[in-house]
A and B are shown apart, each in its own frame.
Chain A
Amino acid sequence: DAGVTQSPTHLIKTRGQQVTLRCSPKSGHDTVSWYQQALGQGPQFIFQYYEEEERQRGNFPDRFSGHQFPNYSSELNVNALLLGDSALYLCASSLAARGGGETQYFGPGTRLLVL
């Protein structure tokens, strides 16, 4: 079992550009959540996808959007990048049926630097 994988590992973009980050969940998992971790802070919830729909969203602007594919993999898109979007983006997968008491398994993250 490969666990949760994310690509790319690192990315450098300039302000105003758009970026797409990818996540493949752990085998058998149907729910993907995305988190942003800025330096010195705990990860912050961006949104969660289940059955190809955004099920819940954190306090992030519409510039942050996502998608879930039929194979449960997911993408995070960020438009009109700002310097403040520089962060580590983490993906976590879980089983929806067991809700909030289910362990979420994290990938290694994508480090985004916006210049």
Chain B
Amino acid sequence: ILNVEQSPQSLHVQEGDSTNFTCSFPSSNFYALHWYRWETAKSPEALFVMTLNGDEKKKGRISATLNTKEGYSYLYIKGSQPEDSATYLCAFVGGTSYGKLTFGQGTILTVHP
């Protein structure tokens, strides 16, 4: 059974703070790591797909890094805004899984004005 863990489970920050959270995944048979943002009552929104060790991706104030050798990825949000409040999910794809996403339990981010 694949184990994808995210920490922390929840996070409360003030507007303007920078924050980061972690996704841990198996370091063997790696194919890709996906990050999603999921706002309440909306569809999960794809943020990044990362495939190479050392990958760094950026989208506005959000960036992510990937270390496949040790099995972790970090998601960073710079200068958090209330609209960043959401659940952030990572999902692991193994080498033989045709794109089957194995999700972590998510990190719930709340940004207070």
Contacts and interface: CB of A to CB of B under 8 A. Distances in A.
A96 B99 CA distance: 8
Interface residues of A, number: 31
Interface string A94-112: 1010011111111111000
Contact of B100 (A3, A33, A103): A33
Interface of B: 4, 6, 31-32, 34, 36, 41-46, 49, 51, 89, 91, 93-95, 97-106
Interface of A: 3-4, 31, 33, 35, 40-45, 48, 50, 55-56, 58, 90, 92, 94, 96, 99-109
A43 B106 CA distance: 10
Nearest to B36: A106
A40 B34 contact: no
9 nearest A-B pairs in the assembled complex, by CB-CB distance: A42-B103, A100-B93, A100-B99, A106-B44, A100-B31, A106-B43, A103-B46, A101-B32, A108-B43
A44 B105 contact: no
B98 A105 contact: no
Nearest to A91: B43
